[in-house]
Amino acid sequence: MSEITAQAVAQLREMTGAGMMDAKKALVEANGDLTEAAEVLRKSGVIKALSKAERATNEGCVHAYIHSNAKSGAMVEVLCETDFVARNEAFVELCHDLALHICASAPICVSRDQVSTELVEKEKEMYRAELAGQGKPAEMMEKIIEGKLNKYFSEIVLLEQMFVKDDTKTIDQLVKEKITTLGENIQVRRFSRFVLGA
C-alpha cells in the first residue's frame, strides 16, 4: 500500500471539503487514489453531510443524561432544521448518545476553534520543553508538536473524541452519519457536564 501523504490529504480536502480524518481514512481505503477516495467519501455520506452544513438549524432539543449512580450527568443542546426531525427517534437517540458520551469522556469544548489560544500555547510550550535537548531539527520538532497537539485535541474536543459506544468513529463522524440518515443539518451547539463534588 502506498504511503498517504499530507499533500494527498490536503488535495482530497480541497476537492471534497471533507475533514482531515475523513479524507485520510478515505485515502487509506482507496489505496491513495484521489478519485476513488472522493467516491468513498461520497458513498459514506460525508460529502452529503457537508452539503447540508450551511443550512440553518433553528430547531432541536436539550437532552439530559444522569449516570446510574446519580453522581454525574450531562446536558447537551443539539440543533437541527425542523421540528419533525427534532422529534424523530434517531435524532433523540443521537442526543442521548452525545449526553452519555459527554458524561463519560469529559470534553471541555465542542470544536477545536473553541480551545483558547492560551491553552494551546501552554501545551506547545510544554511539548517544546519535553523535546528540548534531543537535538532534533526545528522542522521535525514542529511536526512532533503538531502531532502531540492533534492528540491533545482528540482528548478534549467533543467532535474529535472517539465515541464511547463505538471507538471506530469520532463524535463528528457519528453526527455526520445522522445527517446522512435524517437528511438535515445537525449541529452540537453546547453542553454542560456535572460531577458531584467537583
Top-confidence residue, 13 or 122: 122
Q: Please give the pLDDT value at position 195.
A: 94
Residues of the chain with CATH 3.30.479.20: 59-110+157-195
Contact 188, 91 (CB under 8 A): no
Architecture of domain 59-110+157-195: 2-Layer Sandwich (3.30)
Strands 166-170 and 162-163: antiparallel
Model confidence pLDDT, tens digit, residues 71-105: 999 999 999 999 999 999 999 999 999 999 999 99
Q: Name 45's Cβ contacts closer than 8 Å, sequence gap at least 6.
A: 176, 177, 179, 180
What is the C-alpha separation between 159 and 188, in angstroms, rounded?
Answer: 9
**Residue 140 pLDDT class (50, 70, 90 cuts):** confident
Residues of the chain with CATH 1.10.8.10: 6-44
Q: Please give the pLDDT value at position 15.
A: 65
Residue with cell 455520506: 45
**Model pTM score:** 0.70
What is the C-alpha separation between 116 and 21, in angstroms, rounded?
Answer: 22
Mean pLDDT over each residue of the chain, to the nearest integer = 86
Q: Please give the pLDDT value at position 183.
A: 85
Q: Name 5's Cβ contacts closer than 8 Å, sequence gap at least 6.
A: none
Model confidence pLDDT, tens digit, residues 13-55: 766 666 677 778 888 888 888 778 777 777 766 655 555 556 6
Residue with cell 473553541: 114
In DSSP terms, which residues pair with 64 in a beta bridge? 75
* Class of domain 6-44 as given by CATH: mainly alpha
